[in-house]
Structure 1
Amino acid sequence: MDTPDHFITVRVHDQEISPQLVGLCVGYELGEWRAEQFADHVMEWLPEFALTQKELESIQSGNVVSLMRRAAKNVYATKKFESRGEFGELFLHAAIRQVFGSMPAISKIYYKTARNETVKGFDAVHVVDGNDGLELWLGEVKLYKDIGRAISDVVEELHAHTQRDYLRDEFLLIRGKVDDDWPHAEALKSLISPNTSLDQVFAKAVIPVLLTYDSSCVKTHDRCSQDYCEQFEAEVRKHYHNFATRNLPSLDIHLFLLPLKSKDELVGLLHQKLEAWQNL
């Protein structure tokens, strides 16, 4: 499956620690943090994030605009965008696709029963075709300004979302939403079958966690200088330590940290672009 060209720089990627750490950098242009450019890039992921497999495969010159409009409307249609989490889910989708070559199994959007409904549960359901077979990637994201609050809230959710009853309910929903035409449909359905022990599932599961926050490092620089890169790494490793020393579930967790200059500014830009696509 083709993907948009890479935009975000993976400035820190430490695979020798557990949880693994990925620090994502948006960068600067002409002295300004690239909020507008990042928002444009994020919208390039929208069709893959918000359309079904069949819709994606049907895209051609005659329907590309109508399908993009549908993808934008599938996300949400409300002015109360500041407290919604769909853009965070879109960031997580793009990050794990870019860094680990994952393949989306379903979009959380298809859990919805009505427009504008907010949905609980995992924020991404992807797979990675690894050396030992199919890995199930169940993502969590917090699109926050305060990193301390983001860490506390996501740790609480990690424990809640890895309980047996919760997982069984989630797997039932996922099985019902997987497109039978998707290449890994049967393998995924078998992995999350009620007849498969959760011990086997956990052996094949990865939990990518993406946290955003308003960053003092990003705010005090205007280019990706050596000083910036050193401060960037020091900052994300400090927040990683805060996360990693919590009481985490015994699972394979990958922490993605995405420092922002202003979460409010970025979400406002994304909302404007989403509205423009909805009104094509």
Structure 2
Amino acid sequence: MARPFESDLVLSEKISDTNLRVYHVGFESNKFRLTPLVEVIRKVIPEFAFGYHEGMTLSYTEVVERIVEAANTVYLTDKYKRRGEFGELILHLLLRDWCNTIPLVSKIYFKDSHNATVHGFDGIHITIEENKKKLWLGESKLYMDGESGVKELAKDVLNHVNANYLKKEFELIRRKIPQEIPDVEYWMNLMHKHKNLDEVFDTIVIPLVCTYSSKIFVDHCDNTDDYFAALEKECRELFEIFNGKVETDVELLLLLLPVPCKDELNTELDSRLKNMQKI
């Protein structure tokens, strides 16, 4: 699998089940590898902000200006701690590098003010593999504890997987699909207002990313068997909590990324973003 952001140098997939994937960052010299994680997430910003298709025509003479523009597009505020963009960046990264997706639409690109909150799905991607097409409608959370995060994701599923919500979202998304997207007519037809939703549901995957502060880092600072056992136990328990809160026929994929402190991750990402804005 091609990984455009090379996140396999930072992350490894410790659980890869049908409906659950767990990502491990690990330690170096008994310290959590926060800096490599932050830097690989930062790499996502230009594609996240402008869309996959924009990178196909970007010239070297535009690079610096477009990086600044991309960083500004995410937000221009010091009140970042309760915003959701960094969770969306992580969703984008995991989908691109670990689920082999292509971004369909960058909704953030179409917002009309820098600090506006973009509603709707956090990520809209597609996969085309052996003539099997899937539409990925993602949600993300960056939470202080995993249990609260997966419960909120379960609520998102219940709120978003219904006919009225999907029809309204598709109406907004459909008009923004770039012509450069592979099989663009197929996706336009899939989101047509008269398309039978029974057929649409068969093509949808809903990936749900929860990046959260985990207590396992209180007792572990090395890549030991005990650490990996604790990681698996915690994440499988969160998966059970999630499953107990949601019931749907739509394909769901829960992706968990535990970190020592989500606030520290947030602060480091904000610092990198502001540095990009000052290039």
Q: TM bucket by the smaller chain?
A: over 0.9
The correspondence of residues 12-161 of structure 1 with structure 2, limited to 5 A, is 12-15=15-18, 20-161=19-160
CA deviation profile, 1:55-102 (whole Å, cap 9, x unmatched)? 312223222111111111111111100000001001011111111101
Does the Cα contact within 8 Å between 1:143 and 1:212 map onto a contact in 2?
Answer: yes
CA contact (8 A) 1:4 1:44 kept: yes
Residue 149 (structure 1) shift: 1.7
Contact 1:134 1:187 in 2 (8 A): no
User: 2-side partners of 1:53 and 1:94: how far apart?
Assistant: 12
Aligned counterpart, 1:11: 14
Which letter maps to 1:139? G
Shift of 1:237: 0.6
Q: CA deviation at 1:108?
A: 2.5
Q: Kindly tell me: are residues 193 and 140 of structure 1, through their superposed partners in 2, closer, same or farther at Cα, counting changes over 3 Å?
A: same
SS of 1:63's equivalent in the other structure is helix
1:153 to partner: Cα distance? 1.7
**3-state SS of 2:133 partner:** strand
Q: Deviation digits for residues 189-227 of structure 1, max 9, x if unmatched?
A: 111111211111100000001112111113321121111
2:50 and 2:109 in contact (8 A); partners too? no
Preserved contact between residue 13 and residue 21 of structure 1 (Cα < 8 Å): yes
Q: What is the rounded CA distance, in whole Å, between the counterparts of 2:56 and 2:111 in structure 1? A: 22
Q: Given residue 170 of structure 1, which amino acid in structure 2 is its aligned partner?
A: E
Instruction: Note closer, same or farther for the CA distance 1:165–1:98 as it changes in structure 2 (3 Å cut).
Output: same
Task: Give how far 1:152 is off.
Answer: 2.1
CA contact (8 A) 1:48 1:56 kept: yes
Take 2:141 and 2:111, find their aligned partners in 1: how far apart are those partners? 19
1: CA distance between counterparts of 2:183 and 2:232? 37
**Contact (CA 8 Å) 2:46, 2:70: kept in 1 or not?**
yes
Structure 1 residues 57 and 164: CA distance shift in structure 2, 3 A: same
Letter of the structure 1 residue corresponding to residue 16 of structure 2: H
2:211 alignment counterpart: 212
Asked if structure 2 preserves the Cα contact closer than 8 Å seen for 1:129 and 1:135, the reply is yes
Q: Which runs of 4+ in 1 moved over 6 A?
A: none
> 1:138 touches 1:208 (CA, 8 Å); kept in 2?
yes
Q: How many pairs does the alignment contain? A: 276
On the 8 A contact 2:3/2:98 being kept in 1, the answer is: no
The one-letter amino acid paired with 2:86 is: F
The CA distance in 2 between the partners of 1:2 and 1:176, in whole Å, is 29
Q: 1:186 to 1:219 in 2, by over 3 A?
A: farther
With 152-161 and 235-244 compared, the bigger mean Cα shift is at: 152-161
Distance 1:192 1:235 in 2: 38
Q: Which amino acid aligns with 1:128?
A: T
- Percent identical pairs in the alignment equals 33
Shift of 1:176: 1.4
Give distance in 2, aligned partners of 1:219 and 1:95. Answer: 25
Unaligned runs of 5+ in 2: none
* 184-193 or 74-83, which deviates more: 184-193
CA RMSD of aligned residues (A): 1.5
1:28–1:222 contact (8 Å) kept in structure 2: yes
TM-score, length of structure 2 as denominator length: 0.94
Question: Which consecutive unaligned segments of at least 5 residues does structure 1 have?
Answer: none
Aligned to 2:231, the other structure's residue is in SS state: helix
Q: 1:228 to 1:160 in 2, by over 3 A?
A: same
